[in-house]
Amino acid sequence: MRDRPGRGVLDHFGHGRIDMLSVASVLLIYTVAGAFLAFPTRVTKAGQTAAWTIPIFSGVLCILWLAPLVYVLGKHPGKTVVEVTRDLAGKTAAFVFGLAFFVFNTAMIASEARQLSEALATVVVPLTPITFIVFTICATGIYVALKGTEILGRLSIVTAVGTTLNVVLLSALTFHAWRLDEIYPLLGPGALDLAKVYGLNQPMYLELLAIGILAPYLRKIPDIGKSTWVAGVLSGVILSLVTLTCQMMFPYPSLTRVHLPFLRTIRIIYLSRFLQRFDVFFVVLWLSAGTLLVTIGAWIDAHLISGVTGLGSYRMGVLISGALVLVGALLFPSMTEAIVVHSQVIRPYSLFLMYGWPFTLLALQLIKEKKRRTGGGSGPNGHPPDPSSRIPECGGGRKTP
């Protein structure tokens, strides 16, 4: 039986509430679905050994930046981050931030859907048109999104558990073939350059901002922080293991002679022990995670569209998002352009969402709380209370005019 909807966006869409495990799984899949697409870029930019540390340190920094957002969401139960922004900063600020989040989210899904589709066309079904694969992934993702939050949570749990176990097993089974003599220098390009990489790679975890949309659906308010921390830690572990395993199986010098995208040479990996032992499970899980990426993105976009435009139809929001993702994925001429736009435009552009939005909301929330304590703004939205709305402290009858 569904729990009784709370206030805020739940009044519009009427979805049931989900537990911490479901929310953490959604965040995890949303963050790591592109793990096997992104590792060559990290390796070539940061040097062989240091690259696997980037997901760990960048993840820790990302969690610190998201702490203010978690705090503010806890103070506004039942509301999305767009609704919280409207309460604290006004309609204009909510529109700007909501639109920025929507643009990033849609562009990110479109680029990764194109990368996934072309990778599958190269590795698994080389004779299948990429357009057909893109359409199938988007159509399936939209269909699942239309089923609602509870179905999304259950599918995310299954996929998250399978993906985590698969990555750990692949790393363990290939450990004997790792080229451990290639791990030096430990700091890769050097401490200073590595520190810059740690700071600039936090957008790889920007999908965790989805907690701002998922928060109203949690059964318990304290689970907002727990879900974010669990998803962040597991994402760092998975991304780090994927990068390290690929580094140790394919040394850095070989990558310098391969033109990106690396997945055009995926047949070499396909014949290696890295994927040969769990090839069927890997492909199924990868496809499932990629499809769920589209599903989660459409689900988030529907809420952002509602928050920005006031559209009260969840299904219409999902369909709009799906259409934009499909068109965006097909607009990329090839996976090379999709990777370049994704890594050099979409992610860097989104840094201001990571640094600016949570801390701005935290500052506004602290100002509001200070006004309440001093009696300067104890009414709705931080405004002084209306004297005419006060209830007389004594006397049970009405006042005589």
pLDDT at 260 (0 to 100): 46
pLDDT of residue 363 exceeding 80, the answer is yes
Nearest alpha-carbon partner for 116 in 337, 278, 333, 329: 329
Find all residues with CB under 8 Å of 302, minimum gap 6, and list them.
Answer: 13, 145, 314, 316, 317, 318, 320, 321
pLDDT at 361 (0 to 100): 92
- For the chain, how long is the longest CA-to-CA vector? 92
Nearest alpha-carbon partner for 166 in 53, 242, 273, 228: 242
pLDDT at 393 (0 to 100): 42
- 99, 288 Cβ separation under 8 angstroms: no
- pLDDT band at 138, cuts 50/70/90? very high
Nearest alpha-carbon partner for 133 in 147, 123, 144: 123
Backbone torsion region of residue 382, taken as left when φ is above 0, otherwise alpha when ψ lies between -120 and 50, otherwise beta: left
CA distance 268 to 43: 18
- 35, 263 Cβ separation under 8 angstroms: no
- pLDDT band at 325, cuts 50/70/90? very high
Say how many residues make up the chain.
401
- 68, 364 Cβ separation under 8 angstroms: no
Side chain identity at residue 22, one-letter code: S
pLDDT of residue 265 exceeding 70, the answer is no
- pLDDT band at 148, cuts 50/70/90? confident
Nearest alpha-carbon partner for 134 in 156, 105, 111: 111
> Residue 348 burial (CB < 10 Å; 0-12/13-18/19+)?
exposed
- Distance, C-alpha 384 to centroid of its chain: 38
CA distance 357 to 373: 25
pLDDT of residue 170 exceeding 80, the answer is no
Write the DSSP symbol of residue 218.
B
Write the DSSP symbol of residue 210.
G
- Domain range list for the chain: 9-366
Q: What is the pTM of this model?
A: 0.80
pLDDT of residue 88 exceeding 90, the answer is yes
pLDDT at 306 (0 to 100): 87
- 366-388 residue pLDDT tens: 999 988 888 755 455 545 555 44
Check: CATH 1.20.1740.10 for 9-366? yes
Write the DSSP symbol of residue 18.
B
CA distance 134 to 132: 6
pLDDT of residue 268 exceeding 60, the answer is no
- pLDDT band at 342, cuts 50/70/90? confident
